[in-house]
Amino acid sequence: MAKSDQTIVLITGANQGLGFAAAKILVELSADYHVIVCSRNLSRGEEAVSKLRSLPGAKGTCSALHLDLLDESNIVKAADEVSKTFGRIDVLVNNAGINNDLQRLANPPVPLLDVYRSTFETNFFGTINVTEKFLPLLKKSKFNSSAKSLSSEPSSTTTTTTTNAPRAEAHAAPRLVFVSTSLSSLTMASDPASPIYNVLPVCYKSSKSALNMVMVEYEKSLRKEGILVWGLDPGLCATNLSGQGPDALRARGAQEPEIGGQTIVDVVVGKRDADVGKLVWQDGVRPW
Ligand SMILES: NC(=O)c1ccc[n+]([C@@H]2O[C@H](COP(=O)([O-])OP(=O)(O)OC[C@H]3O[C@@H](n4cnc5c(N)ncnc54)[C@H](OP(=O)(O)O)[C@@H]3O)[C@@H](O)[C@H]2O)c1
């Protein structure tokens, strides 16, 4: 159970990979944070929570929550459980996601449209559903009244600069994060000089391009209510996302999940407030 003055950060798909890395950094950072570690398999979430609680440097607290993006009744139940236990959340990190594109190369191959559908079910519809069900709790954030004073402040129009200094007053706002990818960028995908020009997972990257638009629309509508919204590219990280395992990604130059997790944490703690409404990555902002 969180203390009433803690900042409650709910991270979907936090039992492994980038979600777990972000939870670990937050728990080690400060006693100010309570992380709700969501997982589609509760025992994997509980295992992650016991790892976090046993960290020698743990200062913050955490708890497990069963949350499956593909299960409507589970999402309703999870939001209800959080409402009863905490009464609010202060940050929602929509991190859970899949990259099913390799199924198109399986034997026998999964048809393209089926892969598009399964990918969009999780990354797009599932993420929107979780956002809609948890928004009422984000609106009850402890930051909500102070956040309203920020809503008249225009967000930066700069697309290339990053402000790393935390702004105390901006930190006092509810936050909504959509974990996307550089692969979602139409500008980069269509530029032959871009390193991602030839990257293949079309279903995965299309689902994240669509999610970027959802993020932009949430940002515009929630700005009035003082809720800050971002898209976030964690960079290529060695996780289980592609189904090939972390080592295969390391061999392609992937960085460790802690690096991507740190970008998530930077948004959570207020270091990226100059780039609200943008697709941020560790060194700046991605073009759409
Ligand atoms: N790794 C990268 O290079 C990279 C780059 C750019 C963006 N991203 C994004 O980063 C996010 C996290 O990915 P990751 O790299 O950390 O991959 P990961 O290690 O495979 O973690 C993905 C997480 O999402 C969960 N998940 C999948 N389907 C779910 C569902 N239906 N309901 C609830 N949770 C579900 C997984 O649960 P299980 O453990 O049960 O499978 C896991 O906890 C994703 O949105 C991904 O698109 C990753």
Say if residue 145's pLDDT is above 70: no
Full DSSP string of 222-265: HHTTT-EEEEE---SB-SSTTSS-HHHHHHTTPBPHHHHHHHHH
Say if residue 152's pLDDT is above 70: no
Provide the number of structural domains found in the chain.
1
Is 2 within the bounds of a domain?
no
Say if residue 170's pLDDT is above 60: no
For ligand 1, is residue 130 a contact (CB within 6 Å)? no
**257 or 171, which is more confident?**
257
pLDDT of res. 149: 43
Say if residue 232's pLDDT is above 50: yes
For ligand 1, is residue 45 a contact (CB within 6 Å)? no
Indicate if 140 belongs to the active site.
no
Q: pLDDT band for position 210 (50/70/90)?
A: very high
Residue nearest to ligand 1 atom 6, measured at CA: 181
Q: How far is CA 185 from CA 126, 211, 231, 243, in A?
A: 21, 11, 11, 22
pLDDT of res. 3: 78
Residue nearest to ligand 1 atom 44, measured at CA: 97
pLDDT above 90 covers a percentage of the chain that reads 86
Write down the catalytic residue from 142, 208, 271, 278.
208
Question: Domain containing 239: what range?
Answer: 7-286
Which of 54-66 are b and which e, b meaning 16 or more Cβ less than 10 Å from the residue's Cβ?
Answer: eeeeeebbbbbbb
Is 225 within the bounds of a domain?
yes
Indicate if 133 belongs to the active site.
no
**Distance between Cα 99 and ligand 1 center (Å):** 8
Q: How far is CA 270 from CA 13, 168, 230, in A?
A: 22, 8, 12
Is 152 buried (19+), middle (13-18) or exposed (0-12) by CB count in 10 A? exposed
User: What is the overall mean pLDDT for the chain?
Assistant: 92
Is 1 within the bounds of a domain?
no
Say if residue 158's pLDDT is above 90: no
Is 212 within the bounds of a domain?
yes
pLDDT of res. 156: 40
pLDDT of res. 153: 42
Say if residue 103's pLDDT is above 50: yes
Q: What is the CATH number of the domain that holds 220?
A: 3.40.50.720
For ligand 1, is residue 9 a contact (CB within 6 Å)? no
Is 21 within the bounds of a domain?
yes
Choose the weakest-confidence range: 50-59, 141-150, 214-223.
141-150
